[in-house]
Each structure stands twice: as structure tokens, then as C-alpha cells.
Amino acid sequence: MFFIVLAHDKPGMLAQRLAHRPAHVDYWVGQGDALKVAGAMLSSDAADATPIGSSFLIEAEDEAAVRALVAADPFTVEGIFGDDVTVQPVQPVRPALGVWRPA
């Protein structure tokens, strides 16, 4: 099953986010095929936008497994992510296959 995760940073955490980003990236790279897509959520669409959180597309057995992955993320451990992490099951499609059909 696939899940979208939206994890907003607590206010004022940009410096901590940048300091812990290498550990955060290494952690997710270490999760192998579970992580499908990830990226920073930005403050705006302006060229000088700053990161305000993270978004992920994760494949896992269930929501509990996803929440365990997020709980071990260095951004969670270091208190960068707020308590309002959203985990939503989704059914992705693969437009690159030439037709829109369930994954």
C-alpha cells in the first residue's frame, strides 16, 4: 500500500533543518525501496522560498509502519517536525506507462 506523508516543521526550525538534513537524507536513502518520492515543502513558489516541511510517497504494509518510519526520521528525533504529521493512504497511477491505470 502507498501513503502520502506531509510533515510540517515547527516554526523557527530552518537552521536545525539544515544542520540535520544530511542525517535525514541518509536515513531515507537507507530505507531502500520503501521511499518512492520525497522532497521539501516550500514556503512559496518564489525563487527564495525556504523549506517548511517534508513530503513523502512511501510504500509500506500499513499506516503503523509508515508512522514508525517517520518517528525514526532524524527530523522527528531532533524535534524539527511538528506533531501534525499527516499520513494518508493513496492509490497512485503511472502515467509514464501511456495510460492512466491503478498501480
CATH architecture of the domain covering 2-97: 2-Layer Sandwich (3.30)
Question: What is the structure's pLDDT at 91?
Answer: 87
Confidence of residue 21 (pLDDT cuts 50, 70, 90): very high
Q: What is the pTM of this model?
A: 0.87
Question: What is the structure's pLDDT at 93?
Answer: 79
Mean predicted confidence (pLDDT) in 36-47? 95
Is the pLDDT at 70 greater than 70? The verdict is: yes
* Helix residue ranges, H only, 1-103: 14-29, 63-72, 74-77
Is the pLDDT at 36 greater than 70? The verdict is: yes
Q: Is the dihedral of CA 80, 86, 88, 92 positive or negative?
A: negative
